[in-house]
Amino acid sequence: MPRSARLDAPGVLHHVIIRGIERRKIYWDGKDRDDFIDRLRTILPEARMAFYGCALMSNHAHFLFRTGDVGLSTVMRRLLTGYAVSFNRRHKRHGQLFQNRYKSIICQEDAYLKELVRYIHLNPLRTKLVAGIGKLNQYKYSGHSALMGKRKCEWQDTRYVLSYFSKQIAVARRRYLSYVEAGIDQGRRPELVGGGLIRSLGGWAEAKRLRLRGQDRVKGDQRILGDSDFVLDVLAEADEKFDRYYELKSLGYDLNKVAARVSEMYGIDERYILSKGRQRQRVDARSLLCYWAVRELGMSLTELARHFGMSPSAVSYAVARGEVIARENNYQLLE
């Protein structure tokens, strides 16, 4: 059966799950987990990706991200590849560490953010990695301890999550903990981790009941967690993005042609745009070029960084700056 395409866009909430190949351990000890957390600490801020929670077990892990300027696939490739190389070197092993693909599920925020935070953070308790809620509050390899104020994690957006419970931090923490404790007896929640359930209806049983009543036009997709309208909106946006890539490709647009377009708009030579320098006009032109290359051509930050001799974080900043320039001046790649 063919794999479903990734769905990705800036500002989208993702529940991400990684698993060891053949269900083998991906973390053998605390040093492995520390290494993984250190990589998250470096990569996520560089990608301007919001981080709301995680839980590292032995053979799998869960994360809740909101994508920023860098696509999720780029971030995960950098994270998992770097960690796997380090893990293999440290443990003197060879071969694949993770299953072929991580699992990512786009989530409807208003309906599911609180539930996902609770589900993810209860995993160490559910898998008996920790014994009791008191131990979970202290568990350093989960976003729960940071939400409870037991551990500092500057790059985790605890305030945003806690704002769902109260504007006052102390009150929010009490309510959040009560909410988490109320979910302990729920057990596994397959509807939150994919599997093709029509989640907005409460699973296949409800879907079947509605189908028998002739209401069979409800939309479901295993890559998306949300109600029917949300699913349709996400799929429509993905199709529009695909159609845009195809249109530009059919017109012969590549990085050189985009650079020529920017050069024409600013009235400066392409070589001047691509060479190093901090002059305002050059920086603006290069930023617009980076923005269109990433958003219109679908190029990765790593790809552009190699081409321009810049760091991925510098390219990420340029993309954000280019977006502002394009919006404020109503610049369009296609005339």
pLDDT (tens digit per residue) in 53-101: 999 999 999 999 988 878 788 899 899 999 999 999 999 999 899 986 7
- Of 212, 242, 272, the residue that ends a domain is 242
| Banded model confidence at residue 191, pLDDT cuts 50, 70, 90 | low
Judge if 109 and 77 occupy the same domain.
yes
Q: What is the DSSP letter of 191?
A: G
Look up the domain containing 53 and give its range.
13-192
For residues 307-320, average pLDDT: 81
| Residue 171 pLDDT exceeds 90 | yes
In this predicted structure, what is the pLDDT of residue 327? 87
- The total of other beta-carbon atoms located within 10 Å of residue 52's CB is 21
Q: What is the DSSP letter of 138?
A: H
In this predicted structure, what is the pLDDT of residue 237? 52
Judge if 183 and 309 occupy the same domain.
no
| Banded model confidence at residue 187, pLDDT cuts 50, 70, 90 | low
In this predicted structure, what is the pLDDT of residue 146? 97
| Banded model confidence at residue 6, pLDDT cuts 50, 70, 90 | very low
Judge if 40 and 183 occupy the same domain.
yes
Judge if 70 and 137 occupy the same domain.
yes
Strand 103-107 and strand 224-225: the pairing is parallel
Choose the weakest-confidence range: 4-8, 173-177, 184-188, 299-303: 4-8
Residue 3 lies in a domain: no
Taking CB atoms within 8 Å and a gap of at least 24, the contacts of 266-272 are none
| Banded model confidence at residue 263, pLDDT cuts 50, 70, 90 | very high
Judge if 188 and 264 occupy the same domain.
no
Judge if 56 and 123 occupy the same domain.
yes
Judge if 149 and 28 occupy the same domain.
yes
Judge if 264 and 131 occupy the same domain.
no
Judge if 186 and 275 occupy the same domain.
no
Q: Which CATH number is 323's domain given?
A: 1.10.1750.10
Judge if 28 and 165 occupy the same domain.
yes
Tally of domains within the chain: 3
Q: Which residue has the tokens 């053949």?
A: 22
Judge if 182 and 201 occupy the same domain.
no
More confident residue, 100 or 261: 261
